[in-house]
Amino acid sequence: MTRRATERFCAQHLGTVELPDDLPSSTRKLARISCPLEPGHSIWLRDLQRHVKRCQATKEVVRGAWFVPDINLLRPQPDKSRSVTRDAPITFQEYKKWVEFVEKFYENEIQGTRYSDIPLRELKHEGLERRLGELSNKKHAIQQGSLIATLGNVGLLLSENCFVEFGAGRGELSRYLHQALLHRYNNAPTHAPSFLLIDRSGMRMKLDSKIIKDSEDLGSKYPTPPIVHRIKTDIKDLDLRKEEDRQLKKRSDGKGGVVAISKHLCGAATDLTIQCVMNYIESEKDCAEYATMDLAGIMIALCCRHRCSYSSYPLQYLTKYAEIDPRGFEILSKMSSWAVCGRRPKHRNTSNSGKTVETKSERGQLNDDDGYDGEHDESDNDCDQDGQTHISRIPIARREEIGIKVRSMLDYGRVLNLENKGFQVRLIRYVDEAISSENVCLLAIPIRK
């Protein structure tokens, strides 16, 4: 969210500001606070009374047969009440241990492989060129266009498929995927396009109805409008085999499959989605009970690996050199954020004396033991922009390199997990880093025997 020039934080984080007791009431009403019913979102204090009457948190959540608590977790969630270390600050020794682990794992398993050299394939879909020309900020449209064109490249952009968008938000990816489908078929699709949107939040300004309206506005020649349904749930509790609207039911003509899609699915949600899909394909072995369509493919734009969770990530692929407990995985996940922590491109690290210095990574002399020599040397350049020493004693540029390696490790585990379950898997940089630093897409196609 954007920040007003007069405010220190954006609207979402104004709620973290402690208000002085002597603040005038007129000014206090302009403050931002957490919603008392559901602290996950914030509101203007002046709107408090009106908001609590209509807050989505007060509405009863409708749960269908698809609701199966924790079905997509790989292991029980750690009990925070019994862990005194889980939320404790990460120490220098902990950073030292896990950085050494990352360096060893990356050097032996990833460096020089397809996991470290991900090709850039930024594509465009001609069916979305008009929209692109109408926008001043083209960032999201470029990303959506490349993802949709990627689906077309692997033969998944078919009107008979049902597209299940996980973490759908407003449903923007599905809307423009529908427009691309109409363009592909010259407005005469062979089947009514079908979209199932999954999100745990009650979104405002949803585009579900726009998908249907686009069919009319763009002149679709198919006799019925697109099929669009939405399920409000946490992905960890979703049994897709029991979807009640029968969108995933196997067609009498045998055509069509399920395509799982998402744009920027945060951390744990990616792993929950993959497990949800793995549980779904079990239905293919028992068609008499579920009679669902086969899975045609998975396309997930990855992001926010710092929000991965111990209970949902396939850890068995990372434990070759050390056991990883919940605390260790929490540290690894947080270190992944070093790759995209917003360091300014022209920022040069500053020593404690305030003198601008050249980092070792810029000189090409970054050694594995930098920052762990016991005595802290200012020339190691471990200060952040505000002059504070990071607890790890690692320079900003090196932290960025380590963060990139951790991201590669987490994606590596996901790829192996899918390959071992019978998928052909590729990682693709679907847009240039100038568009988004979170620019890696996971594409998985089941290998039919």
In a domain, 63, yes or no: no
433 pLDDT exceeds 80?
A: yes
377 pLDDT exceeds 70?
A: no
Residue 301, phi then psi, degrees to nearest 5? -80, 115
The string of pLDDT tens digits covering residues 111-133 is 999 998 899 999 998 888 888 77
Q: Are residues 295 and 412 in the same domain?
A: yes
256: left (phi over 0), alpha (psi -120 to 50) or beta: left
Structural domain for 22, as ranges: 14-58
Q: Are residues 190 and 45 in the same domain?
A: no
Q: Are residues 132 and 37 in the same domain?
A: no
Q: Does the CA dihedral 219-225-227-232 come out positive or negative?
A: positive
Range of weakest confidence among 368-382, 387-401, 428-442 = 368-382
In this prediction, residues 91-116 reach a mean pLDDT of 95
pLDDT band at 352 (very low <50, low <70, confident <90, very high): very low
What is the per-residue pLDDT for 355?
Answer: 36
CA distance 372 to 380: 10
Q: Are residues 169 and 26 in the same domain?
A: no
Range of weakest confidence among 76-85, 95-104, 213-222 = 76-85
Assigned token pair, 272: 């929950």
pLDDT band at 22 (very low <50, low <70, confident <90, very high): low
pLDDT band at 353 (very low <50, low <70, confident <90, very high): very low
84 pLDDT exceeds 50?
A: no
What is the per-residue pLDDT for 286?
Answer: 57
The string of pLDDT tens digits covering residues 397-431 is 999 999 999 999 999 999 999 999 999 999 999 99
In a domain, 41, yes or no: yes
In a domain, 172, yes or no: yes
Q: Are residues 23 and 169 in the same domain?
A: no
Instruction: Say which residue, 283 or 257, is predicted with more confidence.
Output: 257
pLDDT band at 15 (very low <50, low <70, confident <90, very high): low
Q: What is the mean pLDDT of the chain?
A: 83
Q: Are residues 158 and 236 in the same domain?
A: yes
Count of other CB atoms within 10 angstroms of residue 341: 14
Question: Is residue 127 a contact partner of residue 368, using CB atoms and an 8 Å limit?
Answer: no
156 pLDDT exceeds 90?
A: yes
366 pLDDT exceeds 50?
A: no
Question: Is residue 77 a contact partner of residue 255, using CB atoms and an 8 Å limit?
Answer: no
Q: Are residues 306 and 205 in the same domain?
A: yes
In a domain, 437, yes or no: yes
In a domain, 304, yes or no: yes
In a domain, 3, yes or no: no
In a domain, 78, yes or no: no
Q: Are residues 305 and 433 in the same domain?
A: yes
Instruction: Say which residue, 90 or 50, is predicted with more confidence.
Output: 90
Q: Are residues 184 and 288 in the same domain?
A: yes
Point out the domain boundary residue: 5, 25, 58.
58
3-state secondary structure of 332: helix
The CATH number for 174's domain is 3.40.50.150
Q: Are residues 133 and 245 in the same domain?
A: yes
Looking at the structure of the chain, the number of domains it has is 2
In a domain, 48, yes or no: yes
Q: Are residues 180 and 302 in the same domain?
A: yes
Give one DSSP letter per residue of 265-300, joined into a string. EEHHHHHHHHHHHHHHHGGGG-HHHH-BPPEEEEEE
Question: Is residue 112 a contact partner of residue 144, using CB atoms and an 8 Å limit?
Answer: no
Q: Are residues 277 and 145 in the same domain?
A: yes
